[in-house]
Structure 1
Amino acid sequence: MDFSIPPRVEPIVRRVRAFVDEALIPLEPRFLNGSFRSLLPVLAELRAQVKAAGLWAPHLPQAYGGLGLSLTEFAHVSEELGRSPLGHYVFNCQAPDVGNMELLMHYGTEAQKRTYLEPLARGEIRSCFAMTEPEYPGSNPVLMGTTAVKDGDDYVLNGHKWFATGADGAHFAIVMAVTNPEAEDRHRRASQIIVPCDTPGFTLVRNISIMGEPGSDHASHGEIRLENCRVPQENRLGAEGEGFRLAQIRLGPGRIHHCMRWIGICERAFDLMCTRAASRKMSSSAWLADQQAVQHWIAESRAAIDGARLLVLHAAWKMEQEGAYAARVEISTIKFVVANVLQQVLDRAIQVHGALGMTDDTPLAYWYRHERAGRIYDGPDEVHKWVVARHVLGKYRDAGAA
C-alpha cells in the first residue's frame, strides 16, 4: 500500500495549497471577527475563481462539474482545504452538502437530481441534513420522534430537529423521519425525505449558540420545527424504510472527509505552534522553543498527526477496495483517534500562544470551540470504541469457545 500523494493529484494539491495560503488565510480575520454572511460577496468571487481554475468540487464526477477524484485522492485535497475554516466552502465540498450530493448521486431519481443535485453541484444553492433531535439521544438514532405520515400523494411531517448544520440559508433539507412505525426491524422504520426549506410548516427556530457563538449562514447549526409540513411522496430518497441504511452509507465517506479536514486543522495549528515557539522570547537569551515541555508537545504532535493521517488513508483505501461495511472497524477507529489528536494539538497550540491563543486573532480558538464536537457528532467516541472493542474481543471469544 502506497499512501503517498498520487502523481496526478500532486499538482492539484499544490494549487489548492497556494490558493488557501494566498486567498483564504488573509480573509480569516474578517471571518473570525465578523460573520460568515458578511463575507458572502467576497466568497462568491473566490468560488468563481476556483471554478475557472478547474478545481471546483473535487469530490464530484466530471459529469457534475467536479474533478472526479477518488476517496483517497480527495483525502489529500481535503487536508489542504482543512487548513482554513473557509476552505471547503469555497471549493464546494463542505459538510453537509458533500454528503447530500453523494446521496442524491447514488439514490436520487432523475427528477431529484435535476431539481436538487445539479444546482447544489454548481454551487447555486446549499442544503442541510436533519437527523438529530433534542428529545432523543443522537448516539441511538433509531429513537426518533419526527414522523412522516402519508396523506394522498404526500407525506405530512411533524417533528423537532437540531444541529442541522447550515440550515440558515439552505434551499432544502434531507429529513430523517419515521414512516413505518410498526416495522419489526427498528432499522426499517425511518425514511429520508427531501423538504424544501420554504415549505409551509418548515421553521428555522434559531441558530444554536456554540460556546457563545451563534454563527450564520453556512457556518451555523440550526434548530428546526416541522409542523404539518407537506411534501410529495416523490421527494423520498430511496425506498421507504431505508433511511438508516442511507444514513450509514452517507456517514462512511463522511467520516473520512471529517478526519482529513481535522488533519488539515492539525497541520495549521502545528505550524502556528512551531512559529510561535520559535519567535517568542522568554528572556533576553531564552526562546519559548528552548523549553523542554514545548519541545515535547511539538514532538508528540508531529508523531500523532503523521500516525493519524496514515490511519485515515488506510481506512479510505480499504473502503474503496472492499466497501464501507468491510471498513467499518477502521472507520470507527479513525473517528475517535483523529478527533482526540485534533483536540490535543489545538490545546497545545493554544497553550504555546498563551493569552493570544484565547483570542480570535488566530483561528485556534474558533477551532477549539467548534471542533470539540468532533468527539460527539457522527457517533460519540464511546460508541466507536465499543465497535472496535467488540470486533477485537470477538476473535478471542471465538477462540475461547473453540
Structure 2
Amino acid sequence: MDDRAAGAAALKRLRKRRGLSLAGLARALIDTAQSLHQPPLPVVASVQRSVARWEAARPTMPDERYQLLLAHHYTHTPSGDIALGAGSDFAEYLQALGLLGESEKRTAELRTHVLRTATDAGGSMLALLAPSLHANLAAALADPSHTDEQTLAGLASVVADVNREVGSLPMVRLQLLLAPAVEAARRLLAGPIPLEVAAPLRRVAVAGMTLAGRLSFETRDDAASHALYGEATREAGLLKEPWRQAGVHMSHALVTLYSVQGLERARLLVDQAVRAARTGESTLMRARAHALQAELAARASLERQAQTALGLAWYDMDADHTTDPAPTSFSPGHLSGFEGVCELYIGDPAAAHDRFARSAAALTAPREQVQRAIVTTDQALARIRLGEPQAAAELLNECVAAASSTGGRVPALRLRRARQELRPWRREDWAADLDDHLMDVLGA
C-alpha cells in the first residue's frame, strides 16, 4: 500500500471508529462549521461526496477548509473531552494528512490552531496526554508504586509538545498546558515509585520544571520562576548527567539576567553551567554554555575573556555531534547571535550587524521565533550605532508582532531598550510611527 492509500485508509478508519457513515461525517462537519461560525457548507449529499473522495482508491486531499473542520472534529473524543497527544484521533488524523501528501508546515499550523482554540475555550489541561494514559496517570497518582514507563513516556510527550509550541502560542497558554504534567511529576517523585522509573521520571521533571520556570518568567512571575528553577536544579543534581544540570543553570541565568539588575548573579549561574557542561556528554550544551559566558563577559567589557569563551564555543560547535544527547540544544545560527552580541559590546557594530543578520536568517523554525525576534532587535541596535536609525526602526517594526504574538518578555524588553536609543530622533515621522505601533500592540 502506498502512502496516499494508507492516508485514505486512516481517514476511513477514523470515521468508522466513531461509528459514522459517510453521511454521518458529512453532517458532523456541517455542524462543526456552524459551531465555529464559518460560512455554511453545502448540503449533506455534496459534503458526503467530498468525504468519499478523501477515502477513495485514488484519494484527493481535503482542502484547507475541510482540513480545519476535520481537525476540530477529531480534537474531541466521543465523550466530548479534548485529546491532542500521541495516540489520540487528532494525532492520527494529522498523520493521515501527511500520508496524503500534506506538508509538515501545514500540519503544524493545524495543530497550533487547535491548541490555541482549546486554550481559548478553557479546554482540558491534560489535552496533550494520550487518552489511553489518563487512567494510567490517575492510578499512578493514587499510588505512585504503580508508575510505569508508559505513563512516564506520556508525561514526557506533554513536556516536549509544549516546548515545541514556544514561539507559536502565547506563553500564558503554554503554562496552562504544561502545569498538570509538572505537578504530576512532582507528586510522583514524592511517592514510593519503582526504582527502575526513578531516573526517567526525574528527567521528565527536570525538563518540565525548567520549561515552567522560563514560562513563569515570561509571564512576569519571577518568584514562581525562581522556585521552579530551584526545584529543577535539585532534581538534576540527583541525576548522573551533568549536561542536564548545565541546561537548568543556563536557562536560569538567562531569566536572571533580565529579571535582576546587574550581571553578577547571572554570571555565577553561567559559571556553574560551564563547570557542569565540561564534565557532561553534550558538546552542544558545552558550546552553548561557553557562548553565554562570552556574552556576559562582553556585557561587562571583558574583551579577552569574551573572545576566549567564544573560541571555546566554536571549538565545541565544530565537534562531531552524532551521539550528542541534546542534538537540538544549540546551532551555528544561535552561536552567530552570541557573536553579534559580543561585537555589539566590545567590537565593531558593522560586524555585529552582519552576524545578527546571519543568525536571524538561520532561525526559521517556529520554535526559534522568539530567539529570532531577540536577534533582530539587537541587529537594530547595531544599525543605530552605524548611524542608520530609520533602518533600525524598520527592523524594530518587524519584531513587534513576534513579541506580541508569543507574549515573550525578553523580546519586549529588548524592543523598549532599542527604542530608548532612538530618542534623539523622536520627532521624526518614522519614530512616531514606531511608537504608535509599540503602543497599539504592546501597550508601551
Q: With structure 1 as the length reference, what TM-score do the two structures score?
A: 0.27
Higher strand share: 1
The structure with the greater share of residues assigned to helix is: 2
Structure number, greater radius of gyration: 2
